[in-house]
């Protein structure tokens, strides 16, 4: 996060008495513009009219029951279509989870089951393998297993096997 932007997210009430108004306005402006860069086109033009970061949050991140239920419904109805790249599905899943975190909804135990249940039937064997015989399981481990499975599927072509290794920097080497 850029220097000081976290302060703007807390609101002007949390501004240090030592901080000059010009400096605060600059931090708030930078924070607002950073947020606007990540908004979809549908809300972009409305968000540009909000004066401060706090107003932007109040308008778009209302933590009402209806917002929480709407986002939960998105999560529970998420379904990966056959042939969709797993990374695209994981991005959609993670986007919904980030909305739920922002709305302060807790789903700790259910995240893995929701992810595995959202996969097409071609993943049933892998999902069973992932869940079977484990005492603990972390969402990041499941994501990595799904990505590794897709990578292995891509390396098999024409009956041959291509060796692919992923280095510590995440770069793929052949």
SS (H, E, C) the chain: CCCCHHHHHHCHHHCCCCCCHHHHHHHHHHHHHHHHHCCCHHHHHHHCCCCCHHHHHHHHCCCCHHHHHHHHHHHHHCCCCCCCCHHHHHHHHHHHHHHHHHCCCCCHHHHHHHHHHCCCHHHHHHHHHHHCCCCCCCHHHHHHHHHHHHHHHHHEECCEECCCEECCCCCEEC
Domain end call among 14, 35, 60: 60
Q: Same structural domain for residues 124 and 166?
A: yes
Q: Same structural domain for residues 93 and 169?
A: yes
Q: Same structural domain for residues 78 and 106?
A: yes
Q: Is the pLDDT of residue 89 over 90?
A: yes
Domain end call among 60, 75, 96: 60
Number of neighbours of residue 8 by Cβ within 10 angstroms: 27
Which tokens go with 143? 């994501």
Q: What phi and psi, each to the nearest 5 degrees, are found at residue 87?
A: -65, -35
Range of the domain at 104: 65-173
- Whole-angstrom distance, CA of residue 6 vs CA of residue 66: 27
Q: Same structural domain for residues 46 and 91?
A: no
Q: Is the pLDDT of residue 172 over 60?
A: no
Residue 158 pLDDT = 43
Domain end call among 24, 45, 60: 60
Q: Same structural domain for residues 108 and 139?
A: yes
Q: How far is CA 29 from the centre of its chain?
A: 25
Residue 144 pLDDT = 92
Q: What is the pLDDT of residues 113-162, one digit of tens each?
A: 899 999 999 899 999 888 888 888 889 999 999 999 988 887 775 445 55
Q: Same structural domain for residues 87 and 162?
A: yes
- Whole-angstrom distance, CA of residue 62 vs CA of residue 68: 9
Q: Same structural domain for residues 54 and 131?
A: no
Q: Same structural domain for residues 9 and 76?
A: no
Number of neighbours of residue 98 by Cβ within 10 angstroms: 11
Q: What is the pLDDT of residues 94-112, one digit of tens each?
A: 988 888 887 888 887 688 8
Q: Same structural domain for residues 52 and 73?
A: no
Q: Same structural domain for residues 56 and 69?
A: no
Q: What is the pLDDT of residues 36-71, one digit of tens each?
A: 666 666 666 666 666 666 666 666 666 777 778 888
Q: Same structural domain for residues 34 and 110?
A: no
Residue 1 pLDDT = 44
Q: Same structural domain for residues 100 and 166?
A: yes
| Structure confidence at residue 2 as a pLDDT band (50, 70, 90) | low
**Count of domains in the chain?**
2
């Amino acid at each position: 996060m850029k220097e000081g932007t976290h302060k703007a997210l807390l609101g002007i009430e949390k501004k240090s008495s030592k901080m000059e108004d010009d400096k605060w306005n600059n931090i708030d402006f930078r924070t607002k513009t950073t947020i606007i860069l990540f908004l979809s086109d549908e809300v972009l033009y409305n968000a540009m009219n909000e004066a401060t970061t706090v107003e932007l949050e109040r308008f778009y991140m209302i933590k009402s029951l209806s917002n929480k239920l709407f986002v939960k419904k998105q999560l529970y109805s998420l379904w990966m279509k056959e042939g969709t790249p797993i990374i695209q599905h994981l991005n959609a899943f993670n986007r919904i989870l980030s909305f739920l975190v922002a709305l302060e909804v807790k789903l700790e135990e259910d995240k893995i089951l929701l992810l595995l249940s959202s996969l097409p039937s071609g993943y049933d064997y892998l999902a069973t393998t992932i869940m079977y015989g484990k005492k603990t399981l972390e969402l990041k481990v499941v994501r990595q297993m799904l990505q590794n499975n897709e990578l292995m599927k891509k390396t098999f072509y024409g009956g041959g096997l291509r060796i692919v290794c992923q280095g510590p920097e995440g770069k793929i080497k052949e």
